[in-house]
Amino acid sequence: MRNLTETNLTDAVLAKLESAPNLRFRQVMSSVITHLHACIREVELTEAEWFAAIQFLTAVGKKCDDKRQEFILLSDTLGASMLVDAMNHRTPAGATESTVLGPFHVPGAPALTNGANVASGFPGEPALFSGHVLTMEGNPIAGAQLDVWQADAEGLYDVQRSNLNGRQLRGKVHTNEQGKFWFWTVRPTAYPVPTDGPVGQILLNMGRHPYRPAHIHAIVTASGYEPVTTHVFAEGDQYLDSDAVFGVKDSLVVKFARHEPGAAPDGTVMKQPYFTVAYDFGLPAAKA
Ligand SMILES: [Fe+2]
């Protein structure tokens, strides 16, 4: 194996995989090498361009820390996250559709009781989010967990504010015996994905805006059922048709209804206008 040329080099590299003991690894790596080489050939990549690509990936890695995941952002903005999601969650009709996890989920969000406020002290108009977690037959699932997180009215998550240490604008609520949950928050707003890193530069170079339509994230889990990682999006948002991470689905778009001051559906007396949003999550039975 010497004197390799641009016509036989790919085959030589692929041949090196023949002794890889893990067959799935061999399959995936063979595809990666095949497509990488094909890309290089197709565009006749220059040495300067290849080095720029290496510098870019290096910068993406250096931008990551315990609060910032630039690689997830890269995957999201290139549509890779939604493609993987779509192929891995071919949910039956009636099940809540999935969408991207995004880079701002933090494990270990605080446990909240129904009716709690996940956004206490944060800027934004109050909103009561309520709904049910249901089986495919429409029966309530008691004890289901919603791990929710969102940005505030300034478009920032807790981890983007350097003065915050705890886990805020996020929490875990559980459904009651009737399969119902409810919590207070603030009405989310559209926000740009972080543009101060290499992914922001890529978006700029592609001539794309960085905005995501307003949404609330949720991971819904229940024993004996398939979990779902999803969002609810605010109806009427100007970015619903141009989400920077390609995550919008019609079934996840909900109305944030505005109300004048008065008694909210959970009995809270509101002295200022507020919003209500309702969404029922449907979970299929766990695969055997
Ligand atoms: Fe988000």
pLDDT of amino acid 25: 98
Separation of 188 CA from ligand 1 center, angstroms?
9
Q: What separation in Å is there between the alpha carbon of 99 and the centre of ligand 1?
A: 11
How many whole angstroms from 159 Cα to the centroid of ligand 1? 12
Q: How many domains does one find in the chain?
A: 2
**128 and 18 belong to one structural domain:** no
The answer, yes or no, to whether residue 50 has pLDDT greater than 90, is yes
**Which amino acid, one-letter code, is at 180?**
K
How many A from CA of 202 to the centre of ligand 1? 19
Inter-CA distances, 111 with 49, 146, 166, 167, Å: 49, 10, 13, 11
137 vs 282: CA distance, rounded Å: 9
Same domain, yes or no, for 124 and 180?
Answer: yes
Q: Are residues 244 and 136 in the same domain?
A: yes
- Asked if 2 and 123 sit in the same domain, the reply is no
Q: Please identify every residue whose CB atom is under 5 Å from ligand 1, which is an ion.
A: 102
177: CATH:
2.60.130.10
Q: How far apart are the CA of 255 and the centre of ligand 1, in A?
A: 18
Distance from the alpha carbon of residue 22 to the mean position of ligand 1, in angstroms: 36
Distance CA(44)–CA(61), nearest Å, equals: 26
What pLDDT does 68 receive? 87
CA distance 186 to 288: 39
Ligand 1 centroid distance, CA of 38 (Å): 34
pLDDT of 53-84, one tens digit each?
999 999 999 999 988 899 999 999 999 999 99
Distance CA 276, CA 259 (A): 8
- For residue 50, is it within any domain? no
Q: How far is the CA of 155 from the centre of ligand 1 (A)?
A: 9
Reported as a pLDDT band with limits 50, 70 and 90, residue 161 is confident
C-beta of residue 260 within 8 angstroms of C-beta of residue 273: yes
106 and 174 belong to one structural domain:
yes
Q: Are 232 and 138 contained in the same domain?
A: yes
| Distance between Cα 5 and ligand 1 center (Å) | 47
**β-pairing, 269-270 with 262-263?**
antiparallel
Residues 119 and 17 reside in one and the same domain: no
Query: Is 228 within the bounds of a domain?
Result: yes
Name which of 135, 130, 103 is nearest 284 in CA terms: 135
Q: Are residues 39 and 118 in the same domain?
A: no
In contact, 90 and 83? CB cutoff 8 Å: no
Q: How far is CA 232 from CA 19, 28, 238, in A?
A: 47, 33, 15
CA–centroid distance, 15 to ligand 1, in Å, is 43
Q: Which one is predicted more confidently, 99 or 165?
A: 99
Given this model, what pLDDT does residue 162 score? 76
Does 56 reside within a domain? no
Q: How confident is the model at residue 17 (pLDDT cuts 50, 70, 90)?
A: very high
How far does residue 217's CA lie from ligand 1's centre (Å)?
Answer: 6
pLDDT tens figures, 24-35: 999 999 999 999
Rounded to the nearest angstrom, the distance between the alpha carbon of 25 and the centre of ligand 1 is: 32
- Residues 40, 87 within the same domain: no
Asked if the structure places residue 259 within a domain, the reply is yes
Amino acid 158: pLDDT? 85
Structural domain harbouring 269: 74-282
- Strand partners for 230: 218
Of the ranges 6-10, 147-151, 272-276, 284-288, which one carries the lowest mean pLDDT score? 284-288
The mean pLDDT of 109-130, rounded to a whole number, is 93
What pLDDT does 19 receive? 93
Reduced to 3 states (helix: H, G, I; strand: E, B; else coil), residue 250 is: helix
Position 171 scores a pLDDT of 95
20 and 149 within one domain: no
**Would you say residue 69 lies in a domain?**
no
Assess if residue 12 is contained within a domain. Answer: yes
Band (pLDDT 50/70/90 cuts) for residue 205 is very high
CA of 150 to the centre of ligand 1 (A): 6
**14 and 98 fall within a common domain:** no
- What distance in Å separates the CA atoms of residue 182 and residue 131, rounded to the nearest whole number? 7
pLDDT for res 67 = 80
158 with 225: CB under 8 angstroms? no
As separate numbers, helices (DSSP H) first and strands (DSSP E) second, the chain gives: 6, 14
| pLDDT at res. 273 | 97
Query: Cα(168) to centroid of ligand 1, in Å?
Result: 14
- State pTM to two decimals: 0.90
Distance from Cα 102 to the centre of ligand 1, integer Å: 6
Q: What pLDDT was estimated at residue 167? A: 75
Q: Is residue 90 part of a domain?
A: yes
Look at residue 288 and tell me whether its pLDDT is greater than 80: no
Q: Is the pLDDT of residue 168 over 90?
A: no
Three-state secondary structure readout of 168-220? CCEEEEECCCCCEEEEEEECCCCEECCCCCHHHHHHHHHCCCCEECCEEEEEE
36 and 82, same domain (yes or no):
no
Q: Is residue 227 part of a domain?
A: yes
